[in-house]
Amino acid sequence: MAIWARFKDGVEVEDSIFRTLATAAPGGLLDVFASDQHNSYLQMVGSFLEHIGETRQATDDDVSEACRRFARALGGRSTACLFNHLAFRSPGFRDLLGPNVLLIGRLEHTNTIPTDGGRGQLSRLAIEPELCADQVDAFKTLCNLDPDHRESWERNLEWVHGVFRRCWKLGKPLFSETLIFQRPGESRVEMARRLPEALVKMAEAFGPYSHFYKTQVPLLWVKQDGKVIQTSDPHEVREVGEAMAAVVKRPMLLLSAAVDFEQYAAQYALVADLFTGPMCGRAYFKEAFTDPATRDWDTLEQSFARIALPRIEQIKKLAAVVSPAWWEQFHWMSNEAKQAISPEAKPPRVRVQADFGY
């Protein structure tokens, strides 16, 4: 394999990986529709079944059905899409998604392995990357982390490093994600207040073991017991984004971490010039499952299109103008790599400048 690019920390990118990214996003815009949240899908489909009057539990087949319908309804609007194996291994899935969309396959199991009485959580694979390399263009992993729990921290770090090596051998890009782990008995508000410090630690340690690093930013507010509680301000979100950008030598993608779209849109606007693009899921579409117009599977698909597609376009248009191209973190690119991309397709970036003192 020929080396076509090199990150600022010296990690090399082979021609097969660069070509995959250049084919999907030659103009630099990499926006990802994330649809791999298995347990969340079971809950959302459960609310959908209750909403339409079906008295049964949601199943894996239901999750696959929802993902297949959403893939079709996207109509190729997103540069890349993230799905788990229930979707991407189902018959004809690539045809539903479209031929020009970068398909990212989730590798990790939806349920982690608890350790130390639940204080730590260990990631594990749901599917071996070697078994599905011919079905996807790239891979994704997730680690739930508590920076103060050293055993699980070190074991997860070793795990993602091993997965990264395997993806490199397969010639596939890896998108790695970290989330802060909500400790047993901890409220969401308490967890949110640990985020600013924890996010930078997680980014610095786990960012190197991927081609793209997917992370959240501090929560502006949390809804708890019917109240909206402010947990950080725009200035803090911006500061943490800048701190992560200073230590992560990879393109960063912003996840939604189960917030509503209103908060996600605000978060992305605050850090759009630091992040390469969105990697968002539920914030785009979760209301579709219980929307008044949703009465069956067909109308669920229609509700998804009506609710999610305008939101995707809103964030995508912001990313197109403000966010850096996915190749901007490379310290060096070969002539072949430069010829594979189209830098002129992306307009000059608009920089975010404000004091966020509101």
87-112 tens-digit pLDDT: 999 999 999 998 889 999 999 999 99
Return d(Cα 151, Cα 246) in angstroms, integer: 26
Q: Name beta bridge partners: 4.
A: none
Q: How far is CA 12 from CA 21, 172, 279, 327, 333, in A?
A: 15, 13, 24, 13, 10
Mean pLDDT, rounded, for 269-294:
97
Q: Is 328 left (phi over 0), alpha (psi -120 to 50) or beta?
A: alpha
pLDDT at 125: 97
Q: How large is the average pLDDT for residues 158-173?
A: 97
Angle at 178 between CA 273 and CA 320, to 5 degrees: 25
Residue 277 half-sphere exposure toward CB, CA atoms < 13 A: 26
Query: Of the candidates 153, 209, 217, 147, which has an alpha carbon nearest to the alpha carbon of residue 176?
Result: 209
Query: Please, how many CA atoms are within 13 Å of residue 250, restricted to the half-sphere of its CB?
Result: 24
Contact call for residues 355 and 28 (beta carbons, < 8 A): no
Mean pLDDT, rounded, of the chain: 95
Structural domains of the chain ordered from first start: 29-329 (3.20.20.70)
Task: Report the alpha-carbon angle 150-155-160, nearest 5.
Answer: 125
Q: How confident is the model at residue 226 (pLDDT cuts 50, 70, 90)?
A: confident
pLDDT class of 350 with cuts at 50, 70, 90: low
| 18 CB burial (10 A radius; 0-12, 13-18, 19+) | buried
- CA distance to 7, 35, 143, per residue, from 158 (Å): 21, 26, 11
Question: What pLDDT is recorded for position 357?
Answer: 44
How far is Cα 244 from Cα 170, in angstroms, rounded to an integer? 28
d(CA 173, CA 134): 13
